[in-house]
Structure 1
Amino acid sequence: MVFTTEDRLVRVVNGRWARTSDCGWLFIANERNAAKKLRIREGNGYSRNKQIVVDGFGLSSGDGDVCLTFQWPEWMDVDSAAWKKTCPVTITNDEAMDIYFAMVAEKKELPLLYISQLSVDDSVDAKAIEILEAKGKNVMEEDDWQHFVQEDAHEVLAGMQIDHAECEGDELFVGRVFKTKRDCQVKLSVYAFSQDRSIKKLTALTCMFNSCTWRVYIVKLEGSESYQITSGNLRHTCSVKDRRRFNKQAKEKFMRRIIQSGNAGGLQKLLLDDHKRKVCYWKAWSSQEVANDQGAMGSSSDDSFASLPSYLWLLRQANPGSVMDLKTEADACGLSRFKSLFFAFAASLKGFRCMRRVIVLDGAHLRGRFPGCLLTASCQDPNFENYPLAFAVANEEDDDSWDWFLRKLNTVIPDSADLVFVSKWQSSIYTSIRQVYPKASHGVCVVHLHRHVCSVFNSRHLADLVVKAARAFRVDDFHAAFAEIGRIEPECASYLEEIGFNHWTRSHFMGNRFNIMTSNVAECVNAAFKEARELPIVSLLGSIQRTMTTWFAMRLEATKAEPSCFPPKVRELIHQSLETSEGFTARRIDAFEYEVKGDSKRSFYVHLRQKKCTCRAYNLLGIPCSHAMCAAMAEGFAIHELLDL
């Protein structure tokens, strides 16, 4: 409410205080019950004059208290800009009221006197009112005054209706969307040094330095858990030196919210570069350890192991048919201690019946409080996407762990002659496969072989020739590449012969490893759980279960939306073969048998019924090569009948 003098009458205007974007003060009049002329005398004192105002506007005790305020007049400060930024003075006693009336004797005029049902500390933000009014919100209603009491900006952010937007990056800009309330709390606790008084429907945050114009306005997106910066001024008018006065050491709780992976040195750099917060190395290390140990579910590693049996029981109930085996051993006190865990979900085992029988093995270290390793068995689905089969958590990646893991895997995937294993070059895996799966074939990952040759013989060109020989479909192509290896480095050729061609080459392999020449399938699965491998064991299992559920659900939806009967990546290979075969010629030899000639002088013989070609790519991959596509076009053979998936 605003007071001006006309003889002995004072004009009283009802309203509220607001902060402007340039850190000044603005009094906003209420549109209803806005102004009255009241008689206010100096001799009445503070309490009597205040009661006159309350009675004059018909306010009752239930409407809450009113505050009498005034600003020092402009003539008291030469700089008008500074005057506008002067905080209003609140009249709370007779002495303050006397000071107000004493200014009449100096300038023969009474400065504006303001009365509001909210104190200066509870003032609203003028920009916030403008934003809400632009959205069609009538924020000037008296009935809405109770909404103008500022609440904790980091605890309560009320929603308002604006268009939904996707979450974007980590930078702070107008339109920036925070995925969750926690994300909003962390980011704004870093960038917004102080929170300004605002309205419940919109929160304003300002720089800690009072004269700085930096501020942002945040709202909650309707119908979601996201928050958005709807407006703001992101340029500081204060100096870096001024802002440094308010720099504080980052707290462990704050650091745990920001990051749950990495190392202490990296966390120090992240806090300093991105968030302008200093932290000593040991505080960073302590926060890292606590954050990782608590995990996604908020339980420590000790509690996680204690609750593991109950969690496995719940997993079995939620996934009937899943296989889980927890192995423990008694310590010196007779207490059961975790030793290893095997688990395979029913959905994965059921789906393996429709997959090519090539299993890729790999292991990865667990980097939590209790060290260990995660052993994985994976394969590829018909669309060449990673398909996890089974997992095991063991103390270390040694002979006993791999032997135990494969014996448990043997209970759900029995040994057979058509089963193939692919893994890195490791004696523990080779020994365990020979003992547990004697009928199955085993091939080495050519990427690991390439690295080994590079390391031992110090020749990248030689290693590339080894990969070329390993990937060759035809035996004569292999011998041509291997002869070049023997010419360049005879010791390397002897080493490869000792390994056995049937272990590392496609042309001599006893089974059929199809397109899987590396252990990349299992390594990609382990990489997907890189962050989860730092968490307690229950959190690790939860992350694996959620990730696999998401993968399978997404693939199911993609399959339903696929118009073709071929998997998308298989269809791409068929199109490539079809384009390559455009310049080929096919001559029929017998029923479903053709001689195909391409750009080279070499002829290839294709048998469509037997799904074979002398290039051997069709034989080993099960997907028609360019020669088979040419013969099929000449025969009028249906393409879907050519596939051997």
Structure 2
Amino acid sequence: MAHDTPPVYVSNTRQLQGFLSLKKIEQLHLCVEITENRASEKSKTFLSFSSEAEAEASVVESRDENYSGSYDSYSLENRFDIFDDSDDASSEDDNFSSYGESPTDDKDSPTLPPKKRDQNFSMRGSKGNLEVLSLEMSSIDIAVGQRYDSKDDLEKRLKLLTVRYKFDFDVETSTPTSYVVKCWVDGCLWRVCASTLGESKAFFVRIYGSKHTCSCTERSNRPRQATPDILGMLYKNFLGDVGPAVCPMSVGIAITKQFGIKMGYWKSHRTLKFAREIDEGTPECGFESLPSYLYMIRRANPSTVTRLQIDELGRFMYVFLAFGASVNGFPFMHKGVVVDGTFLNGKYKGTLLTALAQDGNFQIFPIAFAVVDTENDDSWHWFFTQLKLLIPDDEGLAIISDMHSSIGKAIRNVYPLAARGICTYHLYKNILGQYKGKEAFRLVKKAARCFRMSDFTAIFEEIEAIHPALHGYLQRADVRLWTRVHFPGERIDTGYDDQMGRVTAARELTVQRIDDHHTEVKYGSSSESLNVVNLVERKCTCQRFEREKLPCVHAIAAAEYNNVCRIFLCSPYYNSEYLVSAYAESIMPADEAQPVPEIVANQPCLPPYIRQQPGRPNKNRMKSALEVAL
């Protein structure tokens, strides 16, 4: 192998066994580092290859002084020498004499191509929850008396065997009770005969002629069974892991070296895809286990609300999930909910709908999630119907969204008392896409944030003078939905300026008492900046105090003048007690060890029907005009 071959990470003994077999094919210098993960009681092996005149291997001991790994499945003709011993101990203190023989035979080992330069050959670990086919390379072979649960299982084992030993087979007989295959080369005596026993559907191997009478070259000319699903199974079990850092090119190189199969990029890509499905499960398995998963989530998290909607054929339509921690934490949030949807990637696509709130520290607080087919009248109406179980309709409630017409219809039908507002981010994005002019855009942002009607009127008239078309668009968008001054409910903002900054500015104001409840606050002697503060009713003529539920700079100045603690002027949503109460509960994972009722486990949930859209799908998301501008 080339001297610059990158390191290879393997996570189990089967993979290590496969790489050790290369010593019979190529001249290697093998450096092995074995580390122990005490938490998971699993070991990780690090391999580094380089070309040498003679095969040579070295082991660097784990830094854990209590490490006592066992390696009885391997045997090397060349002993392992320690060349990097950090404790200056002699290499004689390690005994590597109990290694078993390599599982590959010389006659079946392929002549491997040289390592290409600049190829990523790293394999990092990933965890999976499903049971996978557990095989040792030497146990792939067939034997008389073996039992297989079905004919498909037997056929899969035969395909693994043919790829492993580089030949192919033809099916001679295939019935519900009998299965006979033979080598595809005419006259070869290799054959397997299997049949069922009694009423059982299991297949038993009756006859196995394991010797090929054809030439090795001839029988290896048809690698028909080397399909991505079979190669993915072999790769997952014997060659490497399928973590996100593994790329298709690495998979192709590993399979070519071990099995001598030519791998193009797309075949390597599909092989890696199948290997990951073995490790993580298929999307179809995810839909099948969804009812059980929702049941376990509800059991682990009291007060959790879940809903699963399927059609008359048992196919998935919608799912709704609100964790108990979110349900019980929402009363400590601002009475405003932001809803939105985003596209999902994957085989079955779909749309993720979310409902979010804002805590007293201006951070996002998740309330509920739903997966639907697309954003339309039915899906949004269903989502708000489920959301109403957690958040009842109320005049003090504000629901903020984009300008999607289906959202507006659903809010009017399900939440008639709540105030609906338009997210200014989406409004700005539409304006930048349709209208030009930075000055007009700046005025729109300023108009949306005004606290007093007089200020808004002046700015809106200025927009009309500069850009009449934009002024018309903003009117059609309904100023009650996107402006703070016209909005009937409590809007959610991304954050407010620093309170300490307001305290500093308040010290420069002139304060004069009017009566027991009212205080006059102004900048210097100018009467144009005069504001009147009522600390009892928590109001100010600037309108900021009552809308933000936080003391404005004028209220802070009046509070300091009247010896009133400004902290008591804040809404309770900004108190630390509310913030602690909002996050008092935790979201617990599902306990898979607990049994699931049979009626839940047997509930059908098939994947939804999808129609492939024409054209090539986009891989890169195009940034909006607002994102570019910001």
Class of the TM-score when normalised by the shorter of the 2 chains:
0.5 to 0.7
Distance, in Å, in 2 between the alignment partners of 1:88 and 1:369 is 47
Alignment gaps of 5+ in structure 2: 1-27, 31-51, 57-74, 103-119, 128-227, 574-630
Q: Judge which range, 413-422 or 632-641, deviates more.
A: 632-641
Which residue pairs with 1:257 in the alignment?
242
Distance, in Å, in 1 between the alignment partners of 2:502 and 2:263 is 59
2:482 partner letter: W
Which residue pairs with 1:384 in the alignment?
362
Higher helix share: 1
Residues 231-250 of structure 1: pairs in structure 2 closer than 5 A: none
CA shift, 1:636, in A, is: 1.2
Distance, in Å, in 1 between the alignment partners of 2:123 and 2:566 is 47
Distance, in Å, in 1 between the alignment partners of 2:54 and 2:446 is 79
Which residue pairs with 2:375 in the alignment?
397
**Helix, strand or coil at the partner of 1:125:** coil
**Match 1:126 to one of 48, 59, 83:** 83
Contact 2:533 2:541 in 1 (8 A): yes
Residues 72-111 of structure 1: pairs in structure 2 closer than 5 A: 87=54
2:345 partner letter: R
Distance, in Å, in 2 between the alignment partners of 1:146 and 1:299 is 38
Going from structure 1 to structure 2, the CA distance change for 1:489 and 1:321 (only over 3 Å counts) comes to same
Residues 546-585 of structure 1: pairs in structure 2 closer than 5 A: 573-585=498-510
1:400 partner letter: D
Q: Deviations over 1:235-266 (max 9, x none)?
A: xxxxxxxxxxxxxxx996589835389xxxxx
CA shift, 1:639, in A, is: 2.3
Q: Does 1:370 find its partner at 2:348?
A: yes
Which residue pairs with 1:631 in the alignment?
558
Distance, in Å, in 2 between the alignment partners of 1:149 and 1:474 is 83
**Match 1:434 to one of 380, 390, 412:** 412
**Match 1:302 to one of 284, 298, 304:** 284
Distance, in Å, in 1 between the alignment partners of 2:296 and 2:404 is 36
**Helix, strand or coil at the partner of 1:361:** strand
**Match 2:95 to one of 145, 158, 167:** 145
Which residue pairs with 1:564 in the alignment?
none
Going from structure 1 to structure 2, the CA distance change for 1:87 and 1:504 (only over 3 Å counts) comes to closer
1:304 partner letter: G
**Match 1:342 to one of 295, 317, 320:** 320
Count of aligned pairs between the two proteins: 371
Going from structure 1 to structure 2, the CA distance change for 1:120 and 1:405 (only over 3 Å counts) comes to same
Which residue pairs with 1:415 in the alignment?
393
Residues 183-332 of structure 1: pairs in structure 2 closer than 5 A: 257-259=242-244, 280-283=264-267, 286=270, 290=274, 298-331=280-313
Give the number of the structure with larger relative contact order, counting CA–CA contacts within 8 Å between residues 6 or more apart.
2
1:301 partner letter: P
Which residue pairs with 2:514 in the alignment?
589
**Helix, strand or coil at the partner of 2:374:** coil
1:381 partner letter: D
Distance, in Å, in 2 between the alignment partners of 1:88 and 1:326 is 60
Going from structure 1 to structure 2, the CA distance change for 1:340 and 1:641 (only over 3 Å counts) comes to same
CA shift, 1:580, in A, is: 2.1
Contact 1:372 1:393 in 2 (8 A): yes
Contact 1:349 1:389 in 2 (8 A): yes
CA shift, 1:182, in A, is: 5.3
CA shift, 1:282, in A, is: 2.4
Contact 1:441 1:511 in 2 (8 A): yes
1:372 partner letter: G
Alignment gaps of 5+ in structure 1: 1-22, 26-84, 90-117, 153-171, 173-177, 184-249, 262-266, 517-568
Q: Deviations over 1:128-151 (max 9, x none)?
A: xx3133xxx67644xx43499799
Q: Deviations over 1:593-614 (max 9, x none)?
A: 2211237751121111211122
**Helix, strand or coil at the partner of 1:629:** helix
**Match 1:612 to one of 539, 542, 549:** 539
1:404 partner letter: W
2:244 partner letter: I
Q: Does 1:465 find its partner at 2:392?
A: no
Going from structure 1 to structure 2, the CA distance change for 1:389 and 1:511 (only over 3 Å counts) comes to same
Which residue pairs with 1:543 in the alignment?
none
Contact 2:338 2:356 in 1 (8 A): yes
Which residue pairs with 1:59 in the alignment?
none
CA shift, 1:287, in A, is: 5.4
> TM-score normalised to the size of structure 2?
0.53
1:627 partner letter: H
**Helix, strand or coil at the partner of 1:145:** coil
Distance, in Å, in 1 between the alignment partners of 2:275 and 2:362 is 36
Larger Rg: 1
Distance, in Å, in 2 between the alignment partners of 1:582 and 1:490 is 42
Contact 2:124 2:245 in 1 (8 A): no
**Helix, strand or coil at the partner of 1:624:** coil
Identical-residue share of aligned pairs (%): 33
CA RMSD of aligned residues (A): 3.8
